[in-house]
A and B are shown apart, each in its own frame.
Chain A
Amino acid sequence: MSGIHVTTKINGDVVEYVCDADETLLDVLRNRLGLTGAKEGCSTGDCGACSVTLDGRLTCSCLVLGAEADGAEIGTIEGMAKGEELHPLQRKFLQHAALQCGICTPGILVAAKALLEHNPKPTETEVRFGLAGNLCRCTGYDKIVRAVLDTAEEMHRSARGA
């Protein structure tokens, strides 16, 4: 099978790759580009462990073909921290012990970031529905919801202060 040449932007950097026509974006990220932060939990779009943003929209990368990413902008967990500085969500997840095994954490962080970008001051219910596409089997979600609400609160405060 002849490969498809794709030019895309991942976490702000231009990336080129050649992929098969039936290859998912998740497989491209993990197997061709070494970006293994997105995880494969189901490959059917049910668990959210492979969450990325595609042109700003939260997406399961297992449901997108690598070829479809041509010309798009992709955001992955690897682009969330800026150098040494963690994203506030990453910091709050650690402070709140909002992860146990950590396999769902990259996807949940990407989803939570997308949520806060669309809704900077969500209620608990909005957080719960915003993260309903991301399965976590360890935590019961309690500490995850608290971490996201606490982040929103902190970002809101620092935005007001600035």
Chain B
Amino acid sequence: MPLDSRPDTKRSFAVVGTRPLRPDGIDKVTGRAKFGADAVAPGMLVGRILRSPHAHARIKKIDTSKAEKLAGVKAIVTRADFPDHTDGDAALYDVLYNIMAREKALYEGHAVAAVAAVDARTAREALKLIKVEYEILPHVTDVDEAMKPGAPVLHATVFTDGVEPKPKKPSNIVRRYEFGHGDVEAGFKKADIVVARTFKTEATHQGYIEPHACLANAGPDGQAELWVCTQGHFMVRDTCARLLGMDISKLRVTASEIGGGFGGKTTVFIEPVALALSRKANRPVKVVMTREEVFKASGPTASTSVDVKIGVTKDGRITAADATLRYQGGAFAGSPVEFGAMSAFACYDLENVRAIGYDVVTNRPKQAAYRAPGAPMAAFAVESVVEELAKKLGLAPIDFRIKNAAREGTHASYGPTYGPIGLLPTLEKAKQHPHFKAPLGPNQGRGMACGFWFNFGGQTCVSLNLNNDGTAALSVGTPDIGGSRASMCLMAAEELGIPYDKVRAVVADTSSLGYNDVTDGSRTTFATGMATILAARDAIKKLTARAAQIWGIPAEAVTWEKGHAKPAGANAGNFPPMSLAEIVAQAGATGGPIAGHHEYSADGAGVSFATHICDAEVDPETGFTRIVRYTVLQDAGKAVHPSYVEGQFQGGAVQGIGWALNEEYIYGKDGRLQNAGFLDYRIPVCSDLPMIDTVILEIPNPGHPYGVRGVGETSIVPPLAAIANAVSAASGVRLTSLPMSPPKILAALEAKAG
């Protein structure tokens, strides 16, 4: 990262920090915006996928002969159409296995075949004609059950990594992680009070309203186009090309508008299947998941089981903290337990800390990232114990947290030493917030919790072309999932010194730019934003050189100020400032088009902290919990478009509210998901909620020229615990398993009453 990107904290901004209308706004409010399922192509076929009804079964035989004979069926693909091109890449092989089952179906909903037909009716008919012979195997869906010695084993190839000696028998425990420092046993000896609890959370789905959708168009010459709703079209291109044995350059992927992702659209599911169907039929094929398929066959997050033990002295200092986290991530390796273990104690300044994580496989769909993957479940457990300890000590929970909070110089529980971070400011601001002192009604209680997320940068490439009327066209490669085009235009306008509405940002296709990592890790406003700033600075360098050329003075003698080239000083010459528009108008005569570029691996993303305050009301008759008031305080580093920063805070908090109170994957004894629809998997609706108040703090990130930190993910980390703590304060019972549904709360109330 260039050294000149240190933030100038005294800088006053012209447009960054304002709230202009988003460039894609009109399209979005008039219904014209084109999402994944909105594309059509001449001669388009409809693709449908046949899925396993069994949680765990050997696929002995797939007979497609009857389906092939049905009029209107143009292509059928099965595992036989997906030879293994993964070349020893275990993670990629898992993706291949997940998009089309091979020897075994590993979860209910696992794809086993797909059909392309002239219309949806024919495709559905054809699926019924495909005969699959299964040998049903015993299954396991619960994380703790899957770890037991006698549990049905999914993969004969899994021998737990990270334990010595390496086990000789296969199991469902893929890997053991350990993080921490100091000596926890010695730390607990110094403690006056120790609290140890076990917590469980259920799997939740990202719940984006737009099901996965794509339109593939592949020809016999090996070239292909793909239109898809995804968080990363470059990832889709590279993954599909590798899975299908294509040259990357022959596959062009265009990102549609995306109807929500939250991490769930950071991998491929239907895309390679649609391409394979299209290639075989030599016709365009559209595949759109149903909501049931989204629940059963795209990635929810992990369900978890977590032990937390924390020791404190009488005066409220934490002496040791220990956690064991068990996360099941579905049928393949890669649950987010490592991030759960790394983030569990990240909010605290600890001398002795240890977090052990187990990545476990079960007969459930392969998990996908979900907003701060792995962190909310760990925070639920840790922040619940922290609150209980504060109460035992007779300390206000906020003071106990302030006393033990991580700060600049703290040796983070996951390793490195923190630079300037915003946890204490969010806690102190929370303490002063009117919400903190507001009176509570009957059956109401107040809880709070802190949360942490890493954020990252990643590979990024942008292009900024200046048009000859003085406007700018910005091409970015990171899909805009929540208003990022507006933020990019703001940053380009800020640097160039032209009005916001003179910059137009588009999400360019994979042929137009170099590789861009997925929109994830809260990286886009940080990394694509910084690339935009640096591309604008690159353009400015060229603009000043052209002005120097026109004036006949050395390029170093020209500076850029408020959208104009100016002689650097009196010695440079006496020329009136020349505007960007005036310079580009002469571009043809002075050397051709002017454009700025930046390609890099962005690093230096600042970590992010938040504190949430929640008031809950628990009905003692029914156990029903209502969120009465909710406040999010989070460090944004620098809010580029404050409305969209607030939106991230509010959206994350509400996903957390759903996770805490309603949402869960419910499995039957048969290993089948019992609630694969929005009626039974209930995400928060408008009438469930109060307004979500927000406070944006700005503690500049030293790794960004404006101080920007990612903001998208941290907001989902504190709510689970903040709500559990509020429920406990309101009802006198502490729930250690999510969701805190009315029957569970009622049972706890009844148990307490005896």
Contact = CB atoms under 8 A, between A and B. Distances in A.
A and B touch in the complex (CB under 8 A): yes
Interface of A: 1, 20, 30, 35-44, 46-47, 49, 76-78, 80-81, 86, 90, 93-97, 99-106, 109, 124-125, 127-129, 131-146
Contact of B482 (A40, A44, A86, A138): A138
B291 A141 contact: no
B289 to A, nearest CB: 10
A144 B686 contact: yes
Interface stretch (B331-339, B510-518, B643-651): B643-651
A143 B650 contact: yes
A77 B31 contact: yes
A137 B209 contact: yes
Contacts of A102: 24, 28-29, 33, 257, 259
A42 B211 CA distance: 8
Contacts of A1: 121
B683 A137 contact: yes
Contact of A39 (B30, B259, B481): B259
A138 B647 contact: yes
B650 A78 contact: no
The main secondary structure of chain A at its interface with chain B is loop
Given A97-B22, A103-B259, A103-B260, A37 B685 contact: no
B1 interface: no
Of listed A39, A138, A140, residue having the most chain B CB within 10 A: A140
Given A42-B291, A44-B291, A143-B650, A100 B483 contact: yes
Given A40-B37, A101-B482, A142 B30 contact: no
A101 B26 CA distance: 13
Given A102-B257, A105-B29, A137-B651, A42 B677 contact: yes
B94 interface: no
Contact of B653 (A20, A43, A140): A140
B22 A94 contact: yes
A151 to B, nearest CB: 12
Interface of B: 19, 21-22, 24-26, 28-35, 37-38, 121, 206-211, 257-262, 288, 290-291, 481-483, 641, 643-644, 646-647, 650-651, 653-655, 677-679, 683-687, 689, 691-692
A137 B31 contact: no
Given A78-B30, A139-B650, A142-B691, A47 B481 contact: no
Contacts of A80: 29-31
Contact of B678 (A95, A127, A131, A135): A135
Given A103-B209, A132-B687, A135-B685, A37 B647 contact: no
B211 A140 contact: no
Given A78-B31, A86-B29, A139-B647, A128 B686 contact: yes
18 contacts: A35-B31, A39-B259, A42-B291, A78-B30, A90-B30, A97-B646, A100-B651, A101-B257, A125-B687, A131-B685, A133-B685, A137-B260, A137-B262, A138-B482, A138-B647, A139-B647, A140-B692, A141-B686
Nearest to B681: A46
Contacts of A39: 35, 37, 209-210, 259
Contact of A129 (B33, B290, B687): B687
A137 B658 CA distance: 10
B539 to A, nearest CB: 28
B697 to A, nearest CB: 19
Given A137-B208, A137-B262, A128 B29 contact: no
B650 A140 contact: yes
B685 A140 contact: no
Nearest to B28: A102
Nearest to B262: A137
A103 B24 CA distance: 12
A101 B692 contact: no
Contact of B679 (A46, A94, A104, A106): A46
Contacts of B692: 140, 142
Given A103-B210, A105-B29, A46 B678 contact: yes
Tell which of B29, B646, B692 has the most Cβ of chain A within 10 Å: B29
Q: Which of B31, B258, B692 has the most CB of A within 10 A?
A: B31
B689 A128 contact: yes
A141 B686 CA distance: 6
A113 B260 CA distance: 24
Nearest to A146: B691
A139 to B, nearest CB: 6
A115 to B, nearest CB: 11
Contacts of A146: 691
Nearest to B680: A46
Contacts of A144: 686
B210 A41 contact: yes
A109 B254 CA distance: 28
A124 to B, nearest CB: 8
Nearest to A143: B647
B647 A97 contact: yes
Nearest to A144: B686
Contacts of A42: 291, 677-678
B330 to A, nearest CB: 21
Contacts of A145: 686, 691
Nearest to B259: A103
Nearest to A22: B121
5 tightest Cβ-Cβ pairs between the two chains A and B: A37-B31, A103-B259, A140-B654, A102-B28, A97-B643
Given A30-B37, A95-B21, 5 more contacts: A44-B291, A105-B28, A132-B687, A137-B262, A140-B650
